Structure 1
Amino acid sequence: MAGNGPPPKPAGQRRRRNATVATTKLPSEGRKGRPPKWPLMDDVVLTSRRDLALRKADNLELALLEPDLKGRAKVAAEQKADSAREAALILTKQVEAQQRIESELWRDLWKTPQAVMWGRLSWTREVAQYVRWKSRAEAGDLDAAKEARQLADRLGLTPLSMLRLRWEIATDEVSETRQARTKQQERQTTRRRLRVVDSDAAAGGE
């Protein structure tokens, strides 16, 4: 029967079916200012391997100075020393490359729009951990690549994770207006040139 049933809710308590979830707008120009101080120590595993390799190479170099070392024994010792020097050099280069990649990536990440929220949420160490795993991944570590992808999702570095975090990069209206104005000017210039060409063609035909 008409009129039966619970009374309608007040307008302020009604839920709209097409209501949108509020999002946090991030500036399209990214975060301004210098990045935070790097919070992590050097990669303990990699630097320890380098130090051990350097120590081994030094010990083998000293062994080559023994006066009783001759013949095949000396050749074998030289080969071991060469291998040790090569291993130490590779590890040294890896440490240097990782530190360089970490420094560059750390600086670049803190210029992104997402970095505005990282600063508000004090996610400095979380971002540093992503940088550490990402630098290892770029050196060819597949396990590190998996860890880096998981942290990228948590930090909003993928479109899906930004949607999950309800982060949205704000539209740069000034830039869009400037681009639209430039395109309009280009179209007007093209039209003027076409009119000149048509006029010249008509004059030539006469």
Structure 2
Amino acid sequence: MGGMGPAPKPEGARRRRNATVAMTPLPPEGRKGRPPKWPLPDDVVLTARRDSALRKADELELALLEPDLKGRAKVAAEKKADAAREAALILTKQLEAQQQIEGELWRDLWKTPQAVMWDQLRWTREVAQYVRWKSRAEAGDLDAAKEARQLGDRLGLTPLSMLRLRWKIADADEGTATPRGRRTAAGTRRQRPDDPRATLHVVE
């Protein structure tokens, strides 16, 4: 019969078409407890450069003690020794600053909502690698900044990457993921749309 149009789809087919992939809600207050133990050694490259600079400075200092070193040759040797000491000091300070940044960033990251999932997935070393690259980036290393952005994206540290991982910050009355994989009620009060706790927690 004309004018009737196609028959409606079965109810089950409509439900499947409209189905969405479930999101894993994360606690808005973040992960509780102490951070995991730092798993990486000191920066191998920076440590090697510092040690090499210290050895060179020591060698030049000893050369200054030679009794035959006089005049212009001694002045030149003193300049080289001063430059070597300065280089060694700069590398030492760089390594100390990097270690401080790593420690602070490591502690901060393990307080985020995303850290609950890192616990479940055992991503401790992956987070540490991000911290290592991020600390270098904050010291001005542009290549390290690129690596940090890529790793941060894999760890869910941007809104887009959280969406890809199917993670979201929970509403007050939603169950949330826990370090042991259980889901717990986050509360009974529903958040208002303008509640700041309903926004994504992102670490740059």
- TM-score class, shorter-chain normalisation, is 0.7 to 0.9
Cα 1:8/1:177, change in 2 over 3 Å: closer
In structure 2, the residue matched to 1:48 is 48
Task: Output the CA distance in 2 between the equivalents of 1:12 and 1:22.
Answer: 18
Bigger mean CA offset, 107-116 vs 62-71: 62-71
Structure 2 counterparts to residues 68-107 of structure 1, below 5 A = 68-107=68-107
Alignment identity in percent? 82
Partner of 1:203: none
Unpaired runs of 5+ residues, structure 1, are 180-206
**Aligned equivalents of 1:172, 1:71: Cα separation in 2:** 78
Show CA shifts across 1:75-129 (max 9, x none).
0000000000000000000000011000110000000000000000000010000
C-alpha distance 21-136 of structure 1, shift in aligned 2 (>3 A): same
1:37 aligns with: 37
> How far did residue 21 of structure 1 move?
2.2
Normalization by structure 2: what TM-score?
0.79
Give the SS at the match of 1:51. Answer: helix
2:26 corresponds to 1:60: no
Could you tell me how far apart the structure 1 residues matched to 2:92 and 2:147 are? 24
1:136 corresponding residue in structure 2 = 136
Structure 1 SS opposite 2:25:
strand
Aligned length: 177
| Alignment partner of 1:24 is 2:24 | yes
Residue 163 of structure 1: aligned partner: 163
Amino acid at match of 1:153: D
In 1, Cα distance between the equivalents of 2:29 and 2:79? 56
CA distance in 2: counterparts of 1:154 and 1:6, whole angstroms: 45
In structure 2, give the amino acid aligned to 1:35: P
One-letter amino acid matched to 2:51: D
The structure with the larger Rg is 1
User: 1:66: Cα distance to partner?
Assistant: 1.0
In the superposition, relative to structure 1, how do residues 123 and 13 fare at CA in structure 2: closer, same or farther (>3 Å)? same
TM-score by length of 1: 0.78
Task: Give the direction of change, closer, same or farther, for the CA distance of 1:19–1:8 in structure 2 (3 Å limit).
Answer: closer
